[in-house]
């Protein structure tokens, strides 16, 4: 019999999570205005709000916390991080930042100007925010297949080369400071980009003189998918694939809270010294001196070790295997989910789950509330609440996909937790016909309403 894979680590420390009763949860979620963001974490049993900064560090990372060098300039921990980025990702110039969005802020302060366009696969929301804040626009060139929720395609994060060339043909080169490839593509569901696509984007961009950068938050998950799914990469290591991926870019921004395996941190890296110098000046204004960038020395050491661990094949096999296990369990129960299953999360398709609830009554949020009441599991709505109103007309915007995202923190929950989540969601699914009406808004903020919105049950 073939041996199944198993986690390449054992557990050294645990954290208690409180099991609550259904009655308690019904009261708490009502008090929270049916908004899962308003719940204190003690009221959540399994927290799938995000995998960002919520994972567990290894003993080696914790030992870095003890030996961190807190020197303002030239810290040993910075040198360790710089060496890790040189060796694993292949870039000579490295600037730490306090988060991924801070890396975006620093880079875009230098290269993005009003009126510019930044093509890429579905930009992450903070990335888009930083582009639009500068009165430039993000142009989504993701392949159309990405938006057909159950269409099986191995690389749904790919960039459509025709759409990209259209952008290059209709804008002067001076107005396109970069093309940004997000690996894996968070906004299209943690879906990977193939090496062939990265190469093709690089060669097309070279023709038009546009530099290619990566948004590298989940770069190691992307490399694992290439190894598993793309011809010619089966026998390459995840580290070799990572090196090749980044060889096609001028630099990257990274939220280290994902595949960096740390609770806080970000990174910028470059091939070009002048760009590094210019970004360094902005980094000093916004983040801190060049060798710490808003982080403690110990954070830099833990990140260096995290980059090394997350690019190990067995690590990713267990990481992505766990997400896939949950996804497959839900599929087995007949629950509609996005396919293929993404690298960091399972996305539940609310429009097929609750076809009788109109989008104007926030069906994905409603499933999130029901799942919380059922089992104390907290997911997050990626649907109409998040899409918010049109900034000009103030009309509700209804996105093509209405999803409940269940993001799995790294090295945090066990397979038994996955079984529990699946059982709780199955119970909600089995009684979906009894869910007769949705939610309505009682209060909402002017922008970014999903964080603070207050809702109530709609009565017909």
| Catalytic sites, residue numbers | 72, 124-125, 215, 217, 258, 450
Question: Residue 253 or 311: which CB sits closer to ligand PLP?
Answer: 253
Which are the contacts of 80, defined by CB distance < 8 A and separation ≥ 6?
64, 300, 301, 304
Instruction: Tell me if 83 sits within 8 A of 304, measured CB to CB.
Output: yes
Q: What is the 3-state secondary structure (H, E, C) of 251-303?
A: EEEEECCCCCCCCCCEEEEECCHHHHHHHHHHHHHHCCCCCCCCCCHHHHHHH
At closest approach, how far in Å is the CB of 217 from ligand PLP? Answer: 4
**Of these, 58, 105, 186, 410, which contacts ligand PLP (CB under 6 A)?**
186
Return the closest-CA partner of residue 182 out of 257, 243, 127: 127
Dig out the tokens for 100 from the structure: 């991924």
Question: Residue 84 or 256: which CB sits closer to ligand PLP?
Answer: 256
How many chain residues bind ligand PLP (CB under 6 A)?
A: 15
At closest approach, how far in Å is the CB of 405 from ligand PLP? Answer: 12
At closest approach, how far in Å is the CB of 6 from ligand PLP? Answer: 27
Question: Residue 124 or 429: which CB sits closer to ligand PLP?
Answer: 124
CA distance 56 to 14: 10
Residue that has been written with the tokens 């040993």 in this structure: 76
CA distance 365 to 386: 10
Q: Which of residues 82-141 bind ligand PLP (CB under 6 A)?
A: 99-101, 124, 126-127
DSSP state of 305: H
**Of these, 36, 217, 279, 303, which contacts ligand PLP (CB under 6 A)?**
217
At closest approach, how far in Å is the CB of 443 from ligand PLP? Answer: 26
Question: Residue 35 or 222: which CB sits closer to ligand PLP?
Answer: 222
With binding defined as CB under 6 A, does residue 410 bind ligand PLP? no
At closest approach, how far in Å is the CB of 107 from ligand PLP? Answer: 12
With binding defined as CB under 6 A, does residue 215 bind ligand PLP? yes
- Dihedral sign of CA atoms 226, 229, 230, 233 in order: positive
At closest approach, how far in Å is the CB of 332 from ligand PLP? Answer: 28
Which are the contacts of 281, defined by CB distance < 8 A and separation ≥ 6?
none
Q: Which of residues 9-68 bind ligand PLP (CB under 6 A)?
A: 52
CA atoms within 13 A on the CB side of 243: 12
Q: What is the dihedral of CA 338, 388, 434, 350, to 10 degrees?
A: -10
**Of these, 121, 142, 158, 182, which contacts ligand PLP (CB under 6 A)?**
182
Instruction: Tell me if 97 sits within 8 A of 279, measured CB to CB.
Output: no
Return the closest-CA partner of residue 262 out of 253, 251, 254, 270: 254
Question: Residue 217 or 357: which CB sits closer to ligand PLP?
Answer: 217
Question: Residue 81 or 366: which CB sits closer to ligand PLP?
Answer: 81
Question: Residue 335 or 403: which CB sits closer to ligand PLP?
Answer: 403
CA distance 433 to 369: 16
Residue nearest to ligand PLP (CB): 100
Q: Which of residues 223-262 bind ligand PLP (CB under 6 A)?
A: 255, 257-258
Alpha carbon 30 to its chain centroid, in Å, reads 29
At closest approach, how far in Å is the CB of 436 from ligand PLP? Answer: 36
Q: Which of residues 281-310 bind ligand PLP (CB under 6 A)?
A: none
**Of these, 266, 297, 336, 342, which contacts ligand PLP (CB under 6 A)?**
266
Contacts with ligand PLP, residue ranges (CB under 6 A): 52, 99-101, 124, 126-127, 182, 186, 215, 217, 255, 257-258, 266
């Amino acid at each position: 019999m073939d041996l199944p894979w198993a986690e390449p680590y054992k557990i050294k420390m645990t954290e208690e999570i409180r099991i609550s009763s259904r009655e308690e949860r019904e009261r708490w979620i009502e008090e929270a205005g049916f908004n899962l963001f308003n719940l204190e974490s003690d009221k959540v049993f399994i927290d799938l709000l995000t995998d960002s900064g919520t994972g567990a560090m290894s003993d080696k990372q914790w030992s870095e916390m003890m030996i961190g060098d807190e020197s303002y300039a030239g810290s040993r921990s910075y040198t360790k991080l710089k060496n890790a980025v040189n060796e694993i990702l292949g870039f000579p110039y490295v600037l730490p930042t306090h988060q991924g969005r801070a890396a975006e802020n620093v880079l875009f302060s230098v290269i993005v100007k009003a009126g510019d366009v930044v093509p890429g696969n579905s930009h992450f929301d903070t990335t888009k925010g930083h582009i639009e804040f500068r009165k430039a626009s993000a142009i989504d060139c993701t392949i159309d297949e990405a938006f057909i929720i159950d269409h099986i395609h191995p690389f749904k994060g790919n960039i459509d080369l025709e759409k990209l060339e259209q952008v290059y043909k209709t804008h002067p080169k001076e107005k396109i400071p970069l093309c940004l490839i997000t690996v894996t593509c968070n906004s299209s569901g943690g879906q990977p980009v193939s090496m062939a696509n990265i190469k093709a984007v690089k060669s097309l961009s070279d023709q038009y003189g546009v530099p290619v950068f990566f948004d590298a938050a989940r770069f190691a998950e992307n490399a694992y998918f290439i190894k598993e799914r793309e011809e010619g990469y089966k026998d390459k290591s995840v580290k070799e694939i990572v090196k090749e991926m980044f060889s096609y870019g001028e630099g990257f921004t990274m939220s280290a809270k994902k595949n960096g395996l740390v609770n806080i941190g970000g990174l910028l890296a470059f091939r070009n010294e002048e760009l590094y110098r210019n970004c360094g000046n902005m980094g000093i204004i916004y983040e801190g001196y060049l060798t710490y960038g808003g982080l403690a020395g110990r954070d830099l050491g833990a990140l260096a070790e995290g980059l090394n661990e997350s690019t190990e094949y067995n690590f990713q096999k267990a990481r992505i295997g766990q997400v896939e296990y949950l996804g497959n369990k839900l599929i087995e129960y007949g629950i509609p989910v996005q396919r293929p299953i993404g690298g960091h999360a399972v996305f539940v398709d609310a429009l097929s789950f609750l076809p009788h609830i109109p989008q104007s009554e926030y069906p994905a949020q409603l499933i999130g509330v029901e799942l919380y009441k059922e089992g104390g599991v907290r997911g997050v709505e990626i649907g109409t609440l998040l899409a918010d109103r049109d900034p000009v007309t103030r009309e509700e915007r209804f996105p093509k996909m209405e999803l409940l995202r269940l993001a799995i923190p790294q090295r945090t929950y066990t397979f038994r937790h996955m079984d529990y989540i699946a059982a709780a969601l199955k119970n909600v699914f089995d009684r979906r016909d009894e869910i007769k009406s949705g939610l309505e808004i009682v209060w909402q903020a002017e922008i970014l309403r999903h964080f603070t919105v207050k809702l109530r049950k709609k009565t017909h």
